[in-house]
Structure 1
């Protein structure tokens, strides 16, 4: 019975850690999606610019002039990277959700086992 209680505590802690990891992964995905939207907006702006339009990049406190093709290429590269990161993060979220669900089921089964053992003790002593 004591082993089961220790196992219950261990499962509860593992489930909590999975929930924390899951929350972190969801927040990371939200940040990536926000970055993706920002970069898509920039990409859309680039299509409306004339070829010789001045494009400036903020580097620290300084604005540096940048070639349009270079800027377009950088944004496309960022969008590609962000897309891959979103895919990777979504796979991690799915993995964490599955692990979390399995731990939750294990935890519920152990709780039921302990409750039944407790009832049997009560009936035996009563």
Structure 2
């Protein structure tokens, strides 16, 4: 019976670790989603610019003038990177959810076998 309890404890700890990892991954995805919305807003502002209007980039405490094509290219590159990262994290989240379901099944199976063995252990005493 102690062996089953030890296995159950180990499985529970693994499940808790998977839950924490999943939560961290979801938080990372949410941060990327916020960055994506911010960059989409910047891209939208670029479309509202009139010919010859200046774009400034904040670097530390200083605003530096930036070429329009360079600024648009930078934002486009950021958006592409963020989209790839979100996609990667989504597949990682699905993978982790699968692992959690498997672990949950193992815990339920072990609990069921422990409950079935408990009456037999009482009779043996």
Shorter-chain TM-score tier: over 0.9
Equivalent residue, structure 2, for 1:18 = 18
Q: Give the aligned length.
A: 125
Verify the 8 A CA contact 1:52 1:68 in the aligned structure 2: no
Structure 1 residue 5 displacement after superposition: 1.5
Q: 1:16, CA displacement in angstroms? A: 0.3
- The residue aligned with 1:68 is 68
Name segments (4+ residues, structure 1) moved above 3 Å: none
TM-score with structure 2 setting the length: 0.95
What is the RMSD computed on CA atoms of the aligned residues? Answer: 1.1
Question: Equivalences for 1:98-109 in 2 at 5 Å?
Answer: 98-109=98-109
| Unaligned runs of at least 5 residues, structure 2 | none
Alignment of 1:1-126 (within 5 A): 1-125=1-125
Q: Verify the 8 A CA contact 1:51 1:68 in the aligned structure 2.
A: no
Q: Any stretches of 5+ residues in structure 1 without a counterpart?
A: none
